[in-house]
Amino acid sequence: MTPRTDLARESRGLADEFSNLLNRTICHGIRLTSVITAGRDRSRTVIGYQITKDRLDAPECIPVTIGGEPRIWLGFSMRLEQDHEDKYLMVRQSVMLLSSSPDPKDALLHYDYERDKPDGYPDAHLQICATSEAWERIGLREDGSQRPLERLHLPVGGRRFRPTLEDMVEFLITDKLAEPRDGWKEAVEEGRQRFQRLQLRAAIRRQPEVAREMLAEMDD
């Protein structure tokens, strides 16, 4: 397997973007790593915290703190590969979670994304690791099986409008679960604009006639 130079450069850029976002907002000195490996028919990369060549499955969550003792941790794992035209880096799957300890086993909730998810559930969804008597009652499904709240797939906007790391950071700050650094809003906004621009470009590639129609309307 010969990794493409673009994959190395682009995945490094993305890992650094995520690290910078966190270090400019709610974290201190953390660094995400990108591990490139062979895949089924193309190279792929996994981005995460404290991952290594032989441990790719998010061993530890990121302490959310800019100096004091953390009380909440953020888990992050993302797998990407080049698209079928080998032009763009494409996210295949990601998980963002909040945990009450560095161990992802103590997850409180997780946002999952799986492109072209084959099971009928939404590609982007939220799972909340909690329960209540009411949810247990409701979790008794039409087919007689039981599904607890933490295994329900709450839809969150679909492929183009799925929640991002910027959204998670903003949530933690605005709900006062994390102490922010000065200038956090600018960092969040910059990252958000980058994501939205990429999504818009992808949407236009898929449906150029819509973009042409809109531009024609605007020119009229």
Partner 1 sequence: MTALLEPDSSVVVADAADLRAAIAGALERAGCTFDELADQARSGDFNSIQARLAWVAIGDLYDVDLDSAY
What are the residues binding partner 1 (CB under 8 A)? Answer: 1-3, 5, 8, 11-12, 15-16, 19, 31-40, 44, 46, 48, 51-58, 75, 77-79, 81, 92-95, 97, 104-105, 107, 110, 112, 117-121, 129, 147, 151, 153
Cβ 8 to partner 1, closest distance in Å?
5
Structure tokens at 144: 């007689």
**Residue burial 54-72, b: 16+ Cβ < 10 Å; e: rest:** eebebebbbbbbbeeebeb
Cβ 214 to partner 1, closest distance in Å?
35
Cβ 88 to partner 1, closest distance in Å?
17
Cβ 156 to partner 1, closest distance in Å?
15
Task: Between 147 and 181, name the residue whose CB sits nearer to partner 1.
Answer: 147
Cβ 213 to partner 1, closest distance in Å?
36
Task: Between 111 and 170, name the residue whose CB sits nearer to partner 1.
Answer: 111
In 3D, which of 14, 8, 97, 108 has the Cα closest to residue 58? Answer: 97
Task: Between 53 and 176, name the residue whose CB sits nearer to partner 1.
Answer: 53
Structure tokens at 61: 């969550």
Task: Between 97 and 173, name the residue whose CB sits nearer to partner 1.
Answer: 97
Task: Between 38 and 215, name the residue whose CB sits nearer to partner 1.
Answer: 38
In terms of phi and psi (left: phi > 0; alpha: psi -120 to 50; beta: otherwise), the region of 171 is alpha
CA distance 40 to 25: 37
Cβ 11 to partner 1, closest distance in Å?
6
Task: Between 159 and 211, name the residue whose CB sits nearer to partner 1.
Answer: 159
